[in-house]
Structure 1
Amino acid sequence: MAAPPPPRALAAEPRRAPLGAVGVSLPRPRGRVRSAQPREEILRGYRQLISTNYNSRSLLCHPCSCAHTALADTRIAYEPEVDKHTGVLAYDLVQGSLVQWNSFTDKSIPDPPTAVLLHGILGSRKNWGSFAKRLAQEFPMWQFLLVDLRCHGDSASIKKRGPHTVASTARDVLKLIVQLRLNPRVLVGHSFGGKVALSMVEQAAKPLARPVRVWVLDATPGKVRAGGDGEDHPAELIEFLRRMPAQVSSKQEVVDALVKGQFSVDVARWVATNLRRNTPIGPRSSSNFSWTFDLNGISEMYNSYEDTNLWGVVENVPRGVHINFLKAERSLHRWALEDMQRIHTAEELAADEGGGVEMHVLEDAGHWVHADNPDGLFRILSSTFRIETTIRGMQD
């Protein structure tokens, strides 16, 4: 069965031009999709496009206090329901206000630049929601693909063959990219997602454009040194959750159990966000909550995260690939001196081979960098999108 086309705006309202831009508001082009299916059938295959409107406001970028003007009308396109029957991961596509769907309508218009954002273990695509919208406001020509990795979020209901590893997770994302006919310019992965991004580079040929910039947020390419000095250890957390009932009466019940089990309150509350309310059966039954992920599969994924070694990609960077590592100042992971030295050595080698490796440090942040210091992370990542936008403008 042929892969379905990506979601598109079915009846978008006229868009406002960016603040400060010269000219008037332009309606979004609406073309026809080439398909053998009747138009009504195509329309039924997609969820309604949701438009999220933001009040224009000035965002102050600490510590430089430079003003960023937020753009209005960021859009979120949701995945087609039919994808769930073809093994595609659940995803959201957050689009800047200047993005135009054109892959199936007008090939004279260049495809919009795309960034893929990948979450970590026990996370979901929602972890990146607010941050992606902020990026889309600042870079309105870009679109951002937010993915639920296998065994997580809405993708947990999509049965995947084992083994559940970093490599198999990377293949899932590559397959999704191919089916959506996207050519990502940027890959951003947090923790486990960082190793997935590196594995995508290791495995990919055509699905990834060149140049491609990879951001590995608070993860090393090799040995994982998680937990220590009283910090929560992910493997212990996963095993604790596996021993809990599949259904609980409330989120607070989970928080209390985790705190009693010596896990931090912040982690307990974060884990509880992965509970979904069940629909009551019958008039007298009470609703309860169940997990939105497959804990058995996630346990296997975390073991793979600890075992997977991707130093080969970093120390032999393919031409046209630029890998950025970001270490959180208060990282949950223990960055060994040997890791830092090895990355710095790789920087010198990559520069001689037409690739790139860089090391960054995010101050005032723990392991959950996009929650602990979103302004600092935004400031660091923004350089990538400005560079890529400039390159794109020169090519066009």
Structure 2
Amino acid sequence: MVVLNRSIPEPPTAVLLHGILGSRKNWGSFVRRLALEFPTWQFVLVDLRCHGDSASIKKRGPHTVASTALDVLKLIAQLRITPRVLIGHSFGGKVVLSMVEQAAKPLPRPVRAWVLDATPGKVRAGQDGEDHPRKLISFLRKLPKEVSSKRDIVNALIQEGFSKDVAQWVVTNLRPTGAASSSSSSFSWVFDLEGISEMYESYEETNLWKVVENLPRGVHVNFLKAERSLHRWALEDLQRIHAAEESAADEGGGVEMHVLEDAGHWVHADNPDGLFRILSFSFKGVKA
């Protein structure tokens, strides 16, 4: 989805990216709120490769963080926009860092990059009894490509040990098949699980600390840690980010750490008001 504001010659633009097994719709209500509060901005919501509407575009592998970032860079070049803000959740956060790496030059205008509940390096996703993306992808790959009931899928996921919230979120990736007037209802998945599995492997293996510790001039990276997402963050991660804060300031870039209270990993669902307050300063006082 592209929310472009053509009433202003070159309005400031924000690009928002979802995580693994998500879609641009994850950001829909949050971005509508941003657009109301900051009407001079335009917002681009992207379905990453193998996800949502982009799953129908058959992309050649490898399906990696880097190739996904290149997709988005090509998209914004096609749209002839220069984003002032990049926001990525989880996998999308690493994609944002990879975009910064691939641009790899001093930028004509300052860019704020937001990495939401993801670290640049090691992925610590899920502990015993928690929803682990790898297990979720593996389970989904065993399901038929066409199903007759969303409720049955939710129940199957819960029975397998996944949380109700995650089960209900996953079935948002099911769309009705056949004509709308048809009396028989069935649903098919909108994602490419084979490609997504490869993307998740890349997410775990990709290390982008060198980007954070050697930022191009004009780039400001903001990390946001969800208060209840304890297992995703190690003391080593926090220490390296704080060290990068000091070195980036000396080089004309910037690194900051934020904590979103009363939120787990799904930050824009758990505490949208708090997230809105934290992100808002990136949109204030920016002129076209």
Same fold by TM-score greater than 0.5? yes
Hey, what's the Cα distance between the residues in 1 that align with 2:111 and 2:28? 22
Structure 1: runs of 5 or more not aligned: 1-91, 103-108
Paired residues of 2:106 and 2:216 also in contact (CA < 8 A):
no
| Counterpart residue number, 1:273 | 172
- In structure 2, relative to structure 1, the CA distance for the partners of 1:265 and 1:207 (3 Å cut) is farther
User: RCO greater where, 1 or 2, for CA within 8 Å and sep 6 or more?
Assistant: 2
Paired residues of 1:114 and 1:145 also in contact (CA < 8 A):
yes
Alpha-carbon deviation of 1:210?
2.6
- In structure 2, relative to structure 1, the CA distance for the partners of 1:168 and 1:207 (3 Å cut) is farther
SS in structure 2 of the partner of residue 203 of structure 1: helix
SS in structure 2 of the partner of residue 386 of structure 1: coil
Is the aligned partner of 1:159 residue 2:58? Answer: yes
Hey, what's the Cα distance between the residues in 2 that align with 1:381 and 1:252? 35
| Counterpart residue number, 1:117 | 16
- More displaced 10-residue stretch of structure 1: 164-173 or 202-211: 202-211
Hey, what's the Cα distance between the residues in 1 that align with 2:38 and 2:152? 41
SS in structure 2 of the partner of residue 366 of structure 1: coil
Hey, what's the Cα distance between the residues in 1 that align with 2:109 and 2:240? 25
| Counterpart residue number, 1:306 | 204
Query: Normalization by structure 2: what TM-score?
Result: 0.96
* Aligned residues with identical type, % of pairs: 77
Q: Which has the larger radius of gyration?
A: 1
Which has more helix, going by share of residues?
2
Hey, what's the Cα distance between the residues in 2 that align with 1:170 and 1:373? 27
After superposition, the C-alpha distances for 1:341-365 in whole angstroms (9 at most, x for unaligned) are 0000000000000000000000000
Amino acid at match of 1:199: S
Q: CA RMSD in A?
A: 1.8
Q: 1:360 aligns with which of 258, 263, 270?
A: 258
Paired residues of 2:106 and 2:217 also in contact (CA < 8 A):
no
| Counterpart residue number, 1:340 | 238
Alpha-carbon deviation of 1:209?
5.3
Hey, what's the Cα distance between the residues in 2 that align with 1:150 and 1:277? 21
| Counterpart residue number, 1:47 | none
Is the aligned partner of 1:210 residue 2:116? Answer: no
Hey, what's the Cα distance between the residues in 1 that align with 2:39 and 2:230? 33
Is the aligned partner of 1:243 residue 2:142? Answer: yes
Hey, what's the Cα distance between the residues in 1 that align with 2:87 and 2:192? 23
Amino acid at match of 1:119: H
- In structure 2, relative to structure 1, the CA distance for the partners of 1:207 and 1:101 (3 Å cut) is farther
Aligned residue-pair number: 288
| Counterpart residue number, 1:384 | 282
SS in structure 1 of the partner of residue 144 of structure 2: coil
Mapping 1:146-295, distance limit 5 Å: 146-204=45-103, 210-280=109-179, 286-295=184-193
Amino acid at match of 2:83: P
| Counterpart residue number, 1:100 | 6
Runs of 4+ in 1 over 6 A off after TM superposition: none
Mapping 1:131-146, distance limit 5 Å: 131-146=30-45
Hey, what's the Cα distance between the residues in 2 that align with 1:201 and 1:338? 23
Amino acid at match of 1:369: V
Paired residues of 1:121 and 1:302 also in contact (CA < 8 A):
yes
After superposition, the C-alpha distances for 1:306-345 in whole angstroms (9 at most, x for unaligned) are 0000000100111000000000011175200000000000
Structure 2: runs of 5 or more not aligned: none
Hey, what's the Cα distance between the residues in 2 that align with 1:332 and 1:168? 29
Paired residues of 1:177 and 1:207 also in contact (CA < 8 A):
no
- In structure 2, relative to structure 1, the CA distance for the partners of 1:208 and 1:123 (3 Å cut) is farther
After superposition, the C-alpha distances for 1:359-391 in whole angstroms (9 at most, x for unaligned) are 00000001000000000000000011114x2xx
- In structure 2, relative to structure 1, the CA distance for the partners of 1:278 and 1:150 (3 Å cut) is same
After superposition, the C-alpha distances for 1:252-284 in whole angstroms (9 at most, x for unaligned) are 11101101111111100100111001015997x
Hey, what's the Cα distance between the residues in 1 that align with 2:50 and 2:144? 18
Paired residues of 2:107 and 2:219 also in contact (CA < 8 A):
no
Paired residues of 1:333 and 1:367 also in contact (CA < 8 A):
no
Q: 1:323 aligns with which of 197, 204, 221?
A: 221
